[in-house]
Structure 1
């Protein structure tokens, strides 16, 4: 049992470290991209088809890469950022890069749910574009954003498990090194169980928070 804990606890910490930091960075970068995708749409508050299509193409390209291929293809970029392509910190780079376009679309879909009548009423009252974004679009779509963030975190957890295939650390790395290569069934079972617990906790928490803040 002591051996099992000595293996599992560091791996749990590594997974939480990768997931939390990469999600935070993806939210920080992906949110403004998602906002730009919405407000520059045709007939929206900052209609600009050139900017909209440029950002949309970039996001689509980012989403077209399977994560395992993305990890390998941006190894030079990862080395440039953190100085190595192996380890938990190095895995955060492809995790963030892979999550940004996903979360950008999450934000876009959430903001598009806002009733155009509410936006038009805000414009009629003299609200600026920035005020509409931060006082109308984001608050009105917050339940959808929370649910989207929940899906994003769940996806990052699965990505982090795949990162173990190339030495990324965490529960995925533990499952591959001990559960697969050393045929240790107990390690494999525990890693799968812990990943399920993490996903269930995130999903239930996200659903609860979204329901609490939903004013509709």
Structure 2
């Protein structure tokens, strides 16, 4: 994918800063990971698997400074146009004070066995969390499928119903160059932990009409962190 000069400079600067900080903290690194089975890979409200199950997993290397490098993958189904998504992230996360925390970085979405132009793209992302609220923004200067400039603005809230049951709320606005393609997505879910495994059940929907992969559905996921 071809990026504009400004966007490429931002990405390069982020990569250099992160690698420099990570090398300085090489004596204090932590490796973590997770694996997930989900009944449908719904990305920003749209199924990436033809509403079929997906296997997902990731690894994250984190420095004491808060900088991290992460690799994440998922099975996908684009109707014969790809079966794998493989993403790489470089970012920083940490506490700003006792109540606020932040997560910022750059992410490359990759589809190794997808052949059409514009399938791979970059995104800058950032979020602020206050107690149980999270507000975030993502930006790409050339989104998936050569869609041009794209913004994703979202908010989330997690409310502890009991010691081991959480209500998860999410709403996001997808803004494209072509305003007719812009849409809202949202979800309402419950999450818990049983025998060390994370379980979640969510109702996912968008305001897109006439799109089977964007319709409302219930998604069940089982995950394990290590």
TM-score when scaled to structure 1? 0.21
Higher relative contact order (CA 8 A, sep 6+): 1
More helix by share: 1
Structure number with higher strand proportion: 2
